[in-house]
A = this chain, B = another copy of it.
Amino acid sequence: MRTAETAVEAKGLVVAAARMKALVYHGPGQKAWEEKPKPKIENPGDAIVRITTSTICGTDLHILKGDVPSVVPGRILGHEGVGIVEEVGAAVSGFRRGDKALISCITSCGRCDFCRRAMYSHCRTGGWILGNTIDGTQAEYVRIPHADTSLYALPPDADEKAMVMLSDILPTALECGVLNGQVKPGDTVAIVGSGPIGLAALMTAQFYSPSEIVMIDLDDNRLEVARSLGATKLINSSDGKAAQKVMELTGGAGVDVAIEAVGVPATFDVCQSIVAPGGHVANVGVHGKPVELRLERLWSHNVTITTRLVDTAATPMLLKLVQAGRLHPERLATHRFPLGEVMKAYDTFGSAARERALKVILENR
């Protein structure tokens, strides 16, 4: 269970440390596909994973704008991936070299108070650290701390472009949107934002058989994708009348669940305007500024508003559903690139509307 270079060292030869290629952040607006040292086991719970499939997240674009101060120059980006375990630390019992594994975007120790409450997002020594405070998955290799509780075993023949959606986007949409929103059979659900995360909410909301799913976006192409994935009503919100249209569609009743999948004040406002008494506003979007909460109206409306960083506690459920053929997250993958062309992949993903891009798959075969 030793890597090549340490075997070499053991022989006492003077060799350069092993190298790999990775996508490195160099400050706002700057990134490069360049050589970096291959990661090594640092703690007994670590695993080194050779990435076979990765992808780009909207959060990566935020980082590149300089919006995420915890990411410092020199950091390898990426928090989504599927790969093959290359090496494990002494305390890892659930994985060994050669295993195929899904990398969770959330690292969890499984021991701290938050982990014992299944709030892995707030793990005392984990949470969202990959591609943030430690090097990430848009690379040939990645080090995964707390591997036993941060990786998920996959069968050798797993469809990687489906599985990589389970690193982040599917559990995020499910946990923050659908589970927090408490979608139940017969409900009317509105999803504000039909980007990848909104579409993932659309897919996972259907686990609970709502009667209606109203999809709201500025982009007709994305709305058409939503229709093909199960939306029952589409609203193009470019005229600023989305809330009014939802109230009309529901005969003035409003919706049981409003899922915010954008992250700006205007979309939150649509949600609070359309939620019915007794209903839920489930925030999924990453917000950069405060919103106005209209308590002078809502104080008596028996509504519940939730926020959440994904815990990936629902990943085992998602794995079962993909394996049973009941969930097809690969439908969110619109483009494929070799990992070595990740710079081009960023260009495509960064012009999502023009390119009609949803998720962009990076393959390292």
Contact = CB atoms under 8 A, between A and B. Distances in A.
A305 B272 CA distance: 12
Contacts of A295: 268, 283, 287, 289-291, 307
Given A149-B110, A207-B209, A290-B295, A305 B302 contact: no
Nearest to A265: B295
A283 to B, nearest CB: 6
A233 to B, nearest CB: 11
Contacts of A303: 306-307
Secondary structure at the A interface, as helix, strand, loop or mixed, is loop
Interface stretch (A156-164, A321-329, A337-345, A348-356): A321-329
A298 to B, nearest CB: 5
B122 A302 contact: yes
Contacts of A290: 292-296
Contacts of A307: 295, 298-303
Nearest to A304: B306
Contacts of A208: 185, 207-209
Contact of A299 (B278, B283, B299): B283
A93 B206 CA distance: 36
Q: How many copies does the complex hold?
A: 4
A309 to B, nearest CB: 4
A113 interface: yes
A148 B291 contact: no
A336 to B, nearest CB: 28
B211 A326 contact: yes
Contact of A317 (B93, B110, B184, B207): B184
Interface residues of A, number: 69
A321 B232 CA distance: 13
Contact of A186 (B149, B287, B289, B316): B316
Contact of A44 (B44, B94, B286, B323): B44
A113 B316 contact: yes
A111 B148 contact: yes
A78 interface: no
A304 B206 CA distance: 23
A119 interface: yes
A93 B119 contact: no
B121 A300 contact: yes
A91 B317 contact: no
18 contacts: A44-B90, A45-B91, A118-B118, A209-B321, A211-B321, A211-B324, A263-B299, A283-B299, A287-B296, A289-B296, A290-B292, A291-B292, A292-B292, A293-B293, A295-B307, A300-B308, A303-B306, A303-B307
Given A186-B316, A263-B299, 19 more contacts: A44-B90, A90-B90, A93-B111, A94-B111, A111-B149, A114-B277, A118-B118, A119-B302, A121-B302, A185-B208, A211-B321, A292-B292, A295-B307, A299-B309, A301-B307, A301-B309, A302-B306, A302-B311, A304-B304
